[in-house]
Structure 1
Amino acid sequence: MSPRWEPDPDVRRGNHVIYHLHAHLVFVTKYRREIFNDEMLTRCEAIMRDVCQSFEAELREFNGEGDHVHLLVHYPPKVALSKLVNSLKGVSSRYLRAEYTGRINQIGTGSVFWSPSYFAGSCGGAPLSIVKDYIENQKRPA
């Protein structure tokens, strides 16, 4: 690293890579049913934290409302985001359906907990305009 750079604990390193990847994920319950209460959200966070750990990722933030959850995940480049999402939704669905059967059956989502769709947005780092300017202003050899 250049001596002019301050070490940043959020910038992670591998053998051949230096990375700083964050994704904002949003998962919605099937039919946007108001399933979650505080206890279920707390349990959902613990489950998703464990899943992230198994992918060598870190769940930085988690919160939600009755019908959806938001996650901020710091993940390594070797992880395909779609595989992480699939695991997060699949594992959490199995555990939550098993542990809160009465509540989930009463609300009526059928055999599916999450909607099949999700939101994923990259975040963190410099704004795109600054990155574009930085790339544009590189000193290209003549």
Structure 2
Amino acid sequence: MSEIYKNRHSAFNLHVHLVFITKYRKKILGELHHKYFNECATEICKDFDAELKECNGESDHVHMLIQYPPTVQLSKLVNNLKSVTSRRMRNEFLDLRGNYTKPVLWSRSYFAGSCGGAPLEIIKQYIQNQQG
């Protein structure tokens, strides 16, 4: 069974699957880039009282599974993750800086999908079977 997280006023189990894509889908990320991204993302998530559960990807994108509290606005977490990792990675790896004429790393778009918990059909049935 999934762990239920608690704070003063709520109990929650919120997870999001995020995917960031490199600008122009350039295949520029290697193993060292992914390792450094993981370190940066872990640190950023802690600042939001969130936890990076999994992180991996390929040469042109990164997948993350993040557990977060209900007080976090996903758009702010995403913007922070993209801006800070982009800046830090371009400062750490000169090869990334040379791939773009502007100071960018990530595409403006991203994927965010909620995940975890029971399937939607089970939750619908549970709600339908509640007595009023």
Report if TM-score (shorter chain) is over 0.5.
yes
Deviation at 1:35, TM superposition (A): 1.3
CA RMSD of superposed structures (Å): 1.2
Deviation at 1:104, TM superposition (A): 1.5
Contact 2:24–2:107 at 8 Å: present in 1 too? Answer: yes
2:18 is the alignment partner of 1:12: no
Residue in structure 2 matched with residue 133 of structure 1 by the alignment: 125
Larger fraction in strand: 2
2:104 is the alignment partner of 1:104: no
Residue in structure 2 matched with residue 57 of structure 1 by the alignment: 50
Larger Rg: 1
Deviation at 1:9, TM superposition (A): 6.8
Query: Number of residues paired by the alignment?
Result: 132
Of residues 28, 44, 47, the one that matches 2:40 is 47
Unmatched segments (≥5 aa) in structure 1 = 1-7
Moved over 6 A (4+): none
Residue in structure 1 matched with residue 110 of structure 2 by the alignment: 118
Residue in structure 1 matched with residue 21 of structure 2 by the alignment: 28
Unmatched segments (≥5 aa) in structure 2 = none
Residue in structure 2 matched with residue 94 of structure 1 by the alignment: 87
2:47 maps to amino acid: S
Contact 1:22–1:72 at 8 Å: present in 2 too? Answer: yes
1:95 maps to amino acid: R
Deviation at 1:16, TM superposition (A): 1.0
* Counterpart-to-counterpart distance in 1, 2:101 and 2:54: 26
Q: Percent identity?
A: 49
